[in-house]
Structure 1
Amino acid sequence: MAQILSLLVTIFLALASSGRCSNVYSRKDFPEGFAFGAGASAYQWEGAVNEDGRKPSVWDTLVHSRNTSNGDITCDGYHKYKEDVQLMVETGLNAYRFSISWSRLIPNGRGHVNPKGLQFYKNFIQQLVNHGIEPHVTLYHDDHPQSIEDEYGGWLNRRMIKDFTAYADVCFREFGSNVKFWTTINEANIYSIGGYGNGFTPPGRCSPPGCSSGNSSTEPYIVGHNLLLAHASVSRLYKRKYKDIQGGSVGISIFLLGFKPSTSSKDDELALQRAKAFYFGWILGPLTFGDYPDEMKTAVGLRLPVFSEEESEQVKGSSDFIGIMQYLAATVANMKSKPSHPDFDSDMGAFVNLIGNYSAFNEKYAVVPWAMEAVLDHIKQSYGNPPLYILENDLQDTPRIEYLQAYIGAVLKSIRNGSNTRGYFVWSFMDLFELLTGYDYSYGLYSVNFSDPHRKRSPKLSAHWYSAFLKGNTIFLGSQDIAQLQSDFSSSS
């Protein structure tokens, strides 16, 4: 690593002396206490799916039913967590985001707590804390127990609110002395669409013929509604029972795009406002104001669930912070005609065209840091400037350093403009099982040799860059320099 860092510093000094580093910043420019970390999720990292009492989750069921690659072993983090924490220390992380597997902790969804699952998370969390790394825990990352799905339909049924709250209660009770940051639901908006609108994510439901069962016109809104009520229930539980003792905070996370209109026409500008209402306002509207945006009420009509007065008061103000997943920018154009079978996209009445030729199976991200600034500014202006954590933001390694430089800089610029952003987490700490692409695409700062029974981890060039930045070595590179450095790094590796 020392040779790589030396080469990075040499290039930085050359660039700085040539005047090409006008936007240089360092970690010291961020507010005191700002969290810099990385993350992973239980199913994508742990493996050991049949060990020590864990039972199947909807994620297990989906990938095995489609005969695709799976997370049965993946990084084997369940057995290698001590090694991974040591890598976090070497990298310089001061925070780490991960999720708890409901199926490992409470295998049947409710009732009996699995002692071996409980001990694993206690050990892992203690290992983080012992090394000065702040745990940021997600309670739900698309992976409720399959038994609950079979019994009553999971998130489509309000019974889920009670079971999810009871699961959260166990987590708060057992881990809360060491965990101060709790995210209830991962990407609440995208989970509702992916799991119940297009069937891409667990439990894989959408209207036929795309899926064997589901209703894309109603189920995403039902699930989104139940997620908000469950989040509010968990938040209320924490404030009533644990907050005064443990001093932590409870938030929720959403996936957001940086939008701009396709043209300057009035129709496209109105489409832009609808897109913001559907992507931002679907979750942030109830959390901030106690109700859905008017644009959604008008477009979705009776298919959009209604909060009772009591529910509205419970949901409003129930998040201590908002987690943001921000990768992409998009242009928005008005949709002139709607299909006969409505869904989220047609209800929105807008074509969202991603910038950078991105698709779920062909990731080519554009480096457009204005998208991050636009997201943070819109939340500041429209939703009361709540505390924010950037929980995911990254891409594949070759252009990653340029991307990280630009987006971390955009976060700093937004903070200087008044955004209440308090943390930035790279996705992901190491290569993982990815739901849509399996092992074909890798996003980790560290590569994992999935052909090796020991799942050997190796730092990528981006790990060296991020580590140098976290340790105070401000290193900024141009595209050509990064490409050359990547070539040199690959050859030496």
Structure 2
Amino acid sequence: MSFKEDFLWGGATAANQHEGGYNKGGRGLSTFDVVTGGGYKVPRKVTFKTANGKIGAVPVDSTMTGPVPENSTGYIKENTYYPSHEATDFYHHWKEDIALMAKMGFKCFRMSISWSRICPNGMYEINEEGLKFYDLIFDELLKFGIEPVVTINHFEMPMYLADHYDGWLSREVIDFFLFYTKTIFERYKNKVKYWMTFNEINVLSGWCQIGVHNNNPQNLYQAHHHIFVASAKAVKLGHQINPNFKIGMMVSYTPSYPMTCKPEDVMEAIKFNRQKEFYMDVQVRGYYPEYQLKKFERENIHIKMEKDDLKIIENETVDYIGFSYYMSTVSSTDPNAKKTEGNQFIAYKNPYLKTSNWGWTVDPLGLRIALNQIYDRYHKPMFIVENGLGAKDVIEKDGTINDDYRIEYLKNHIKAMKDAVELDGVDLIGYTVWGCIDIVSAGTGEMKKRYGLVYVNKHDDGSGDFSRIKKKSFNWYKNVIQSNGESLDNY
């Protein structure tokens, strides 16, 4: 048994990395609108204004926490490059981009809605022009038979809520989020079937992503509790509005192997894997697991809950599990073990695997392992909503972009995915290549680190005319989709 006939092949992007038009069409400011560009080993910065009027900037670390000083507000500095302001300008190129997706034969397109484009300050004001913009997007996708897959909140929030409510640390933000969610559920109830509440919920932290200034463990887990409640209430709300909605969660999934067969290393791997299993346990199984409650007890973390919170979480679990997979890591008790870069974290280096130019471990078999680990634990349908290779692409003299390295990466991961379906029997509903069209890297803020199957003429100094060029991987992926995953060597 291979992939289902209705398997959802496609690509994925995020509003703050692809959309642009940050001050167009009535949109309010988002937290990522004050995050500067950066580079490999060069951290991005958050620019802010303090209560006494001082303007400053602080580095954003590899986990995107954004250590913004207490009581400060996001601030856009003159003569400073902010990648999200234009990103790769989907705001003006959406028709062209969707036409390219259609030529590749996409069955689905994963994207996010910008909360501040719908509710400019994140609260109870609705921006009709923003709603109409996404109407155009969904109508165009559906015209080509492309199923929209929408992330409701992807790594950003309205800056007003971060500045004035300390983001998700405030219980009130749950109601603001549900107003926004109800607005888009009702508006697009006949256009969008597949939804995910929060992107990579297990790595959400700090001012940039969740609006919290002081990212200490107490604040972080209190904010995450509010996010859990908001997500569960959104699931209930969505099913009331349209019972045919499929509403999922989304995690960053990086399996960890013990560095050695030393029992202590095995235990370290168990503890590392719990960092993502916790978030799936809450949203899929519907409860706080015992190991996490013990962690709270050890670390003197006390979560303030209202009386019905746990019942809401228990009753309103998700329909499917969406996850990103880029790499694996290893766990070790050796403080001198070599380290490398990772997706939102620093990882231990696996001596048996190669790394990308940005230091990410390349491990196709790890995707099959991840699929088995998730399915064995939860027995829920799964959706791989991010997988891709960030690399420096070169335009040849004849105008071609020969990204065989990307094709090789994707091919090997799809083979592993295919084995998980055919040999292991996992229930997989779709696969979306991350950054199907070049977008700004969330971690580094670079354009040089490209993921797309389509090249966008935009560069790290802000220059470029946003023209689109098909890469070699474009036609290769078109053949993959046409063959439903059977033609992987045709390039």
Normalising by the residue count of structure 2, what TM-score does the alignment of the two structures yield? 0.80
Q: 1:401 to 1:365 in 2, by over 3 A?
A: farther
Q: 1:86 to 1:427 in 2, by over 3 A?
A: same
Structure 2 equivalent of residue 327 of structure 1:
326
1:276 pairs with 2:287: no
Structure 2 gaps, min length 5: 37-45, 48-56, 58-79, 337-344, 391-402
Q: 1:81 to 1:328 in 2, by over 3 A?
A: same
Structure 1 equivalent of residue 39 of structure 2:
none
SS in 1 for 2:110: strand
Shift, 1:279, TM fit: 1.9
SS in 2 for 1:71: helix
Q: 1:335 to 1:165 in 2, by over 3 A?
A: farther
Structure 1 stretch 95-104 or stretch 282-291: which is displaced more? 282-291
Structure 2 equivalent of residue 138 of structure 1:
151
- Distance in 2 separating the partners of 1:108 and 1:214: 21
1:389 pairs with 2:383: yes
Shift, 1:366, TM fit: 3.9
Q: 1:398 to 1:433 in 2, by over 3 A?
A: same
Structure 2 equivalent of residue 55 of structure 1:
28
Structure 1 equivalent of residue 400 of structure 2:
none
CA offset digits 1:234-290 (Å, max 9, x no partner): 1111123x123xx1111110001122110101111111111121222x211112333
- Distance in 2 separating the partners of 1:370 and 1:104: 39
SS in 2 for 1:409: helix
Shift, 1:89, TM fit: 0.7
Letter in 1 for 2:475: H
Any residues of structure 2 matched to 1:209-248 within 5 Å, and which? 213-240=213-240, 242-244=241-243, 247-248=244-245
- Distance in 1 separating the partners of 2:346 and 2:18: 34
CA contact (8 A) 2:9 2:107 kept: yes
Structure 1 equivalent of residue 418 of structure 2:
412
1:45 pairs with 2:43: no
Structure 1 equivalent of residue 165 of structure 2:
152
Letter in 1 for 2:322: G
Structure 2 equivalent of residue 182 of structure 1:
195
Structure 1 equivalent of residue 252 of structure 2:
255
SS in 1 for 2:84: coil
Shift, 1:354, TM fit: 4.6
Letter in 2 for 1:74: A
Letter in 2 for 1:262: M
Letter in 1 for 2:220: P
Shift, 1:364, TM fit: 3.8
Any residues of structure 2 matched to 1:296-315 within 5 Å, and which? 296-301=292-297, 302-303=300-301, 305=303, 310-315=308-313
Structure 1 equivalent of residue 448 of structure 2:
440
CA contact (8 A) 1:394 1:428 kept: yes
Q: 1:215 to 1:148 in 2, by over 3 A?
A: closer
1:290 pairs with 2:286: yes
Structure 1 equivalent of residue 407 of structure 2:
401
Structure 2 equivalent of residue 20 of structure 1:
none
CA contact (8 A) 2:249 2:283 kept: no
SS in 1 for 2:383: strand
Any residues of structure 2 matched to 1:49-198 within 5 Å, and which? 49-63=22-36, 65=47, 66=57, 67=80, 69-192=82-205, 195=206
Shift, 1:100, TM fit: 0.5
Structure 1 equivalent of residue 396 of structure 2:
none
- Distance in 2 separating the partners of 1:61 and 1:155: 18
CA contact (8 A) 1:335 1:351 kept: no
Shift, 1:88, TM fit: 0.5
Q: 1:68 to 1:271 in 2, by over 3 A?
A: farther
SS in 1 for 2:181: helix
CA contact (8 A) 2:202 2:275 kept: no
Shift, 1:151, TM fit: 1.9
Letter in 2 for 1:127: E
- Distance in 1 separating the partners of 2:407 and 2:122: 41
CA contact (8 A) 2:253 2:325 kept: yes
Shift, 1:475, TM fit: 4.4
Structure 2 equivalent of residue 8 of structure 1:
none
| Paired residues, number | 420
Q: 1:307 to 1:291 in 2, by over 3 A?
A: farther
Shift, 1:378, TM fit: 1.2
CA contact (8 A) 2:239 2:245 kept: no
Letter in 2 for 1:319: V
1:431 pairs with 2:438: yes
- Distance in 1 separating the partners of 2:466 and 2:285: 47
Normalising by the residue count of structure 1, what TM-score does the alignment of the two structures yield? 0.79
CA contact (8 A) 1:270 1:334 kept: no
Shift, 1:215, TM fit: 3.5
Letter in 2 for 1:368: D
Q: 1:202 to 1:32 in 2, by over 3 A?
A: same
SS in 1 for 2:134: helix
1:33 pairs with 2:37: no
SS in 2 for 1:56: coil
Letter in 2 for 1:278: Q
Q: 1:61 to 1:103 in 2, by over 3 A?
A: same
- Distance in 1 separating the partners of 2:168 and 2:355: 29
CA offset digits 1:278-327 (Å, max 9, x no partner): 222x2111123333333333233231637667322322352011111111
Q: 1:336 to 1:78 in 2, by over 3 A?
A: closer
CA contact (8 A) 1:277 1:293 kept: no
What percentage of residue pairs aligned between the two structures are identical? 29
- Distance in 1 separating the partners of 2:414 and 2:232: 31
- Distance in 1 separating the partners of 2:323 and 2:147: 18
- Distance in 1 separating the partners of 2:103 and 2:163: 43
Structure 1 gaps, min length 5: 1-27, 206-212, 338-349, 486-493
SS in 2 for 1:29: coil
CA contact (8 A) 1:357 1:363 kept: no
Shift, 1:374, TM fit: 1.5
Q: 1:145 to 1:357 in 2, by over 3 A?
A: farther
CA contact (8 A) 1:274 1:295 kept: no
Q: 1:351 to 1:427 in 2, by over 3 A?
A: closer
SS in 1 for 2:9: strand
Shift, 1:368, TM fit: 1.7
Shift, 1:357, TM fit: 7.1
